[in-house]
Amino acid sequence: MKKYSLIVAIILSALYTASGQETKAVAVTTTTCEAMCKANTSKKALLLQSIEKKSKENSASSSDGMVWVEGGDFNMGTEDYPDAKPVHKVSVKGYWIDEHEVTNAQFAAFVAATNYVTIAERPLNPADYPGVPLENLVPGSAVFVPPTTKVSLDNIQQWWQYVPGASWQHPNGPESSIEGLENNPVVQVSYLDAKAYAEWAGKRLPTEAEWEFAARAGRKHTKYYWGQELKPNGKWAANIFQGTFPNNNTAEDGFSDSAPVKSFPKNPLGIYDLEGNVWEWCNDLYRDDYYKTSAGDNPKGPSTSNDPEEPGVEKHVQRGGSYLCSDQYCIRYVAGSRGKGETTSACNHLGFRCVKDK
Ligand SMILES: [Ca+2]
Ligand SMILES: [Ca+2]
């Protein structure tokens, strides 16, 4: 299982960093991680049971939490980003979509039912990490660790670290937990993990077109899905980043991390948090030039992936931006804009939601 080359770069750079949290991050060996994991086993089992119980209670007291989206035509994309143009006419068939991002409680129910192990929790294959000493190949994932001072925005390794032991149950590293976060979106899930959940739930991941159609919700084209203003009527419309990225998150919208789903207003279709909160995997492979040749009728993505920034790395589309996006940086909550990520990689601001056919 080859992880995102960013993660490889982070591991390698941490090896050669003499100070700070990066060194600490890779200093956790397999042995200590195993000991730590074993010590936490019973606590984990209890937590999973409790989360699964809450999930059952939630699903019993509501509908299945999906919204019907009537099919139709729309103009997809934006001229503001090279990989999101041209704006082109697309039609989609009707479909059901989760009204909110998949939560920790929902993912816990999946894991409890199937014993599924996410990619971030699996051993790393040394063949995928030439030059990295075996003791550093510890299961983990990418975690946002803000620098303490303002930094230039040209090197993401200043705020992304590979943290051994980070996983969906420990989103920010082994010391963190999802206890009390049952209704927050699950994170640290790769595309393959999200797909496995969707199949178990009798659903599927949305196509990129379905995701954008739901986000536009029949509204006229404006800069943001919610309108032309970043902060309509003085209120934040989605969980994004305020302050100075990446070191000073003022959390003016109430959340410096993910928010419980449905914390912000729903869109006209009754769907929550498409923009912001956590990035969402789509089923489509990512190509930067796909919109130039995309089919207009229910497009399902290209047959091959290509990201000129990382040729040869298979990526899938992500949409909506996250609690780490601001108008200063990332800004991919802007209507029609696109994101992408390596198929087996995860991080702590990336989740998903599902759709279902009629
Ligand atoms: Ca926020
Ligand atoms: Ca979202």
CB 170 within 8 A of CB 43: no
- At 16 the pLDDT is 34
- At 34 the pLDDT is 36
Q: Which helix (H) or strand (E) holds 110?
A: helix 104-114
Q: How many angstroms does the Cα of residue 250 sit away from the middle of ligand 1?
A: 8
299, pLDDT greater than 80:
yes
pLDDT tens per residue, range 182-226 = 999 999 999 999 999 999 999 999 999 999 999 999 999 999 999
Q: How many angstroms does the Cα of residue 246 sit away from the middle of ligand 1?
A: 12
Q: Average pLDDT of 311-329?
A: 96
Q: How many angstroms does the Cα of residue 184 sit away from the middle of ligand 2?
A: 11
Whether the CA torsion 135, 140, 146, 150 is positive or negative: it is positive
* E-only strand ranges, the chain: 66-69, 72-76, 88-92, 95-98, 140-144, 160-164, 243-244, 248-249, 279-285, 315-319, 339-342, 350-351, 355-356
Q: How many angstroms does the Cα of residue 237 sit away from the middle of ligand 1?
A: 10
> CA-to-CA distance for 215 and 123, rounded, in angstroms?
37
329, pLDDT greater than 60:
yes
Q: Bridge partners of 281? A: 318
**What are the residues whose beta carbons fall under 8 Å from the beta carbon of 212, sequence distance 6 or more?**
74, 76, 77, 319, 336
Q: How many angstroms does the Cα of residue 110 sit away from the middle of ligand 2?
A: 20
φ, ψ of residue 86 in degrees (nearest 5): -80, 155
Q: Kindly identify the ligand whose nearest atom is closest to the C-alpha of 258.
A: 1
- At 64 the pLDDT is 85
Q: How many angstroms does the Cα of residue 345 sit away from the middle of ligand 2?
A: 18
**Which of 216, 280, 269, 267 has the alpha carbon at shortest distance from 75?**
216
78, pLDDT greater than 70:
yes
Helices (H), 201-278: 208-216
- At 62 the pLDDT is 39
Instruction: Give the architecture (CATH level 2) of 6-357.
Output: Alpha-Beta Complex (3.90)
153, pLDDT greater than 50:
yes
Helices (H), 237-294: none
The residues whose Cβ lies within 5 A of ligand 1, an ion, are 239, 253, 255, 323
Average pLDDT, the chain: 88
CA 39 to chain centre: 29
Q: Kindly identify the ligand whose nearest atom is closest to the C-alpha of 276.
A: 2
Neighbours of 222 (CB within 10 A): 13
Q: Kindly identify the ligand whose nearest atom is closest to the C-alpha of 251.
A: 1
Q: How confident is the model at residue 33 (pLDDT cuts 50, 70, 90)?
A: very low
- At 234 the pLDDT is 97
DSSP string, 22-71: HHHHHH--HHHHHHHHHHTHHHHHHHHHHHHHHHHHHHHTS--SEEEE--
CB 301 within 8 A of CB 251: no
pLDDT tens per residue, range 12-32 = 444 333 333 333 333 233 333
Q: Average pLDDT of 35-59?
A: 52
Q: Kindly identify the ligand whose nearest atom is closest to the C-alpha of 240.
A: 1
Amino acid found at 40: N
Q: Kindly identify the ligand whose nearest atom is closest to the C-alpha of 101.
A: 2
Q: How many angstroms does the Cα of residue 277 sit away from the middle of ligand 2?
A: 5
- At 23 the pLDDT is 30
The residues whose Cβ lies within 5 A of ligand 2, an ion, are 273, 277, 280, 320
Quote the percentage of the chain above a pLDDT of 70: 82
Whole-angstrom CA distances from 279 to 45, 90, 135, 169, 178 are: 28, 23, 31, 18, 18
Q: How many angstroms does the Cα of residue 1 sit away from the middle of ligand 2?
A: 26
Q: Average pLDDT of 34-61?
A: 50
Neighbours of 199 (CB within 10 A): 13
Quote the percentage of the chain above a pLDDT of 90: 81
Q: Kindly identify the ligand whose nearest atom is closest to the C-alpha of 324.
A: 1
CB 125 within 8 A of CB 72: no
Helices (H), 117-268: 191-200, 208-216
Q: How many angstroms does the Cα of residue 256 sit away from the middle of ligand 1?
A: 5
Per-domain boundaries in the chain: 6-357
* Angle of CA points 155, 157, 159, to nearest 5°: 100
